[in-house]
Amino acid sequence: MDYNTTEKIIIYLINKLGDKIEGKKKLMKLMFLIEHYDVDSKKLVCNGLLGNTFSIYYYGVFSLDIMNYVDGLIQKEKIKDGFPLRSTEKIKLEPQIKEKVENIIQGFGEKTGYELEVETLKMMDIEPSDKEKFFGEPVNKLIKS
């Protein structure tokens, strides 16, 4: 099967983190960080790496694009839904993408989905208790770069 880069990264994260991947919430936050976190400056950037769009929803940053990829991989039985998510596929990433993904794993992989929810919101100067005020807002409008 031929995968696009986003699908490859999703599968790679699931395999690399194993039980630590938890579920879709943590996966979503990690994909957001891969998309918008600059490891060198330790800040969010508007220009995404992969072109997936994110908005603020019930559990913080959310991307319908990412959810569609995850659901598609579940339908094709390339990942198994549940807690934790599982995959039987083996994926190799291009060196530049792999370096970025590994840096995100190293910096954020040990955190829970909830911890990542809070941290990603705070990176945009949003208190978790105030996220409803930003419901549906694209993160590109909220990232201060």
List, for residues 112-124, the tens digit of each pLDDT value. 999 999 999 999 9
Alpha-carbon dihedral angle through residues 63, 39, 96, 72, given to the nearest 10 degrees: -20
* pLDDT score for 143: 93
Q: What does the domain layout of the chain look like in residue ranges?
A: 5-142
* pLDDT score for 145: 63
For the chain, the average pLDDT equals 94
Instruction: Judge whether residue 2 has pLDDT over 80.
Output: no
Task: Write the pLDDT tens digit of every residue in 34-88.
Answer: 999 999 999 999 988 899 999 999 999 999 999 999 999 999 999 999 889 999 8
The helix/strand/coil state of 125 is: coil
For 56, which DSSP code? E
Per-position DSSP letters for 8-43, written without gaps between them: HHHHHHHHHHGGGG-SHHHHHHHHHHHHHEETTTTE
* Spatial CB neighbours of 64, under 8 Å, sequence gap ≥ 6: 53
The helix/strand/coil state of 139 is: helix
pTM exceeds 0.75 for this model: yes
Q: For tokens 């891969």, what's the residue?
A: 34
